[in-house]
Amino acid sequence: MGRLPEVALANDDGTVVCERCLLAETSLARLRGLLGRSGLSSGEGLLLRPAGSVHTAFMKFTIDVVFLDRDLRVVKVVPELVPWRTAGCRGARAVLELPAGEAGRRGLREGVSLTQVWRTATSSSGVKPSPRPT
């Protein structure tokens, strides 16, 4: 699989809540998710889109799961989802996976709106795309 695009996410007041967020928008990228990783550092995350549920089968670490609607508004937060569990949310269109405890530290709770900020990322062809506005 090629390198995934990387985005940053900011909350309502412009505070960045995920500095290095990989964007998984293909079936393969969503299927792979965080498998094979030993953890996430503060500021790292994975945004799965579209998605309304996640599983932590075969994962080696605990994560916070933030369910988002189509406008990137937080509709549910599942803190510290341990390996071998599932979580879902009716109406969610995207899922943000963060290190355990990060959602609380970053003030992510129901009703908070996020804004996507594009960053450059190397594609599988080695060409760096231009940043795109949302």
pLDDT score recorded for residue 86: 97
Mean pLDDT to the nearest integer, 94-118: 95
Instruction: Report the chain's mean pLDDT, rounded to a whole number.
Output: 87
**In order of start, what are the domains of the chain with their CATH numbers?**
6-118 (2.60.120.1140)
Amino acid letter, 83 = P
pLDDT the model gives residue 117 = 82
> pLDDT above 70 covers what percent of the chain?
86
pLDDT score recorded for residue 130:
40
Q: Are 60 and 35 in contact (CB under 8 A)?
A: no
**Among 1-5, 34-38, 51-55, 80-84, which is the least confidently predicted range?**
1-5
Whether 110 has a pLDDT exceeding 50, the answer reads yes
Higher-pLDDT residue of 33 and 98 is: 98
Whether the CB-CB separation of 132 and 118 falls below 8 Å is answered with: yes
Q: At 118, is the secondary structure helix, strand, or coil?
A: strand
